[in-house]
Amino acid sequence: MVSQLVPRRGASVKDVAAAAGVSLGTVSNVLNRPERVRPSTRERVERAMLDLGFVRHEGARQLRAGTSRALAYVMLDGRNPFFTDVAQGIEDAAMADELSVFICNSAGSDSREHAHLEHLQQQRVQGILITPVDPDSAFLAEIVRRGTPVVIVDRTRGADRFCTVAVDDVLGGRLAVEHLVELGHEHVAFVGGPTAIGQVRDRLEGARSAWVEAGRDPDALVHLATAGLTVTEGRAAGERLAGLPRRRRPTAAFCANDLLALGLLQQTIGAGGDVPRDLAIVGYDDIDFAAAAAVPLSSVRQPRQELGARAAALALEEATDPGHMHQQVVFQPELVVRASSRG
């Protein structure tokens, strides 16, 4: 059901001007350059605004001034703490610049993402930060062509057409697997999917090269594919692992994100297994829940808030500096070792 919207009109600058006995221009000056108006006048105008419940019409302001004071972030998954932390970083940075941030959530859906993007362009936001469903989508490039800066967060694709801010996922995968190799594991599972997701692909790639470089048997690193990056999928993966005959069963698992790792952890413990004795687990993202898990989770930490802050800065730079050149910022991940892999 689409409801009928009714226009709502309140007091305008004109009403305020009339009430305060001044001209439009003066009211505008009170709003935008208060130092230019005589204190006594200013006070009268402010009084009138208060009395009339005046609220400046942002649409009209923007229309005339040609500028908006907002940034937007389109998250890939609003229920994954990783992304809400990135969003927090963006908000903090934007606030320092007196910008507000619209947080949107595509929830992994193409059409939802598209709807948000369309709307944000129409809002004339200063810049769109996005962790896209598909970073190669032509639509993103089209947005830039139409004049809105786009910064890709947490992906390195499309590097020539956008600024990107990402963490080196290949390195992250390496770190995790090098750690497991050092612990002496001969049989490791990589849990994650679908590989259509770039993050998954890169982490797997890093894992594989570290594994091979350590001289391990390539076939002893198995890829346990999942349909998504959720706790539920992690539990399902745990069941599949448990179903393997003991000698073919991995002694360690590296999960493509912490939600998977938490699911796997829960399933393993619930089935009477011991972590890390029976199965060492390393996750990815180091969300707050990782450290708080029953067996604190080893994880590859990404500088989430900094990721967001930097992305905001880049978008703003692109919006304001005509000579802007696209940049690729790559942060280094860091392995945090906790009980789930420490013996």
Partner DNA sequence: TCCTGGAATTGAAAGGTTTCAAGAGATTCC
Partner DNA sequence: GGAATCTCTTGAAACCTTTCAATTCCAGGA
Minimum Å distance from CB 124 to a second copy? 7
Gap between the Cα atoms of 231 and 263, Å rounded: 4
Residue 191: strand pairing partners: 224, 255
Q: Which of 290, 319, 292, 318 is nearest to 304 (CA)?
A: 290
Residue 294, contacted partner among DNA, a second copy, none, CB below 5-8 A by kind: a second copy
Q: State yes or no: residue 100 binds DNA (CB under 7 A).
A: no
Q: Tell the smallest beta-carbon distance from residue 212 to a second copy (Å).
A: 33
> Long-range contacts for 111-118 (Cβ within 8 Å, ≥24 apart)?
113/74, 114/139, 116/72, 116/74, 117/74, 117/143
- The smaller minimum CB distance to a second copy, of residues 140 and 293, is found at 293
138 touches, from DNA, a second copy, none (C-beta below 5 to 8 Å by class): none
The nearest distance, CB 198 to DNA, in angstroms, is: 35
Choose among a second copy, DNA, none what residue 309 binds, the Cβ cut-off being 5 to 8 Å by kind: none
Closer to a second copy by Cβ: residue 78 or 228: 78
Q: Which residue, 5 or 196, is less far from a second copy as judged by CB?
A: 5
| Least spacing, CB of residue 25 vs DNA, in Å | 2
Give the three-state DSSP class for 128: strand
**Residue 154 touches which member of DNA, a second copy, none, C-beta under 5-8 Å by kind:** none
Binding to DNA (CB under 7 A) within 18-77 occurs at 22-29, 31-32, 36-38, 40-42, 54-57, 60-61, 63-66
Give the footprint of DNA on this chain (CB under 7 A): 9, 12-14, 22-29, 31-32, 36-38, 40-42, 54-57, 60-61, 63-66
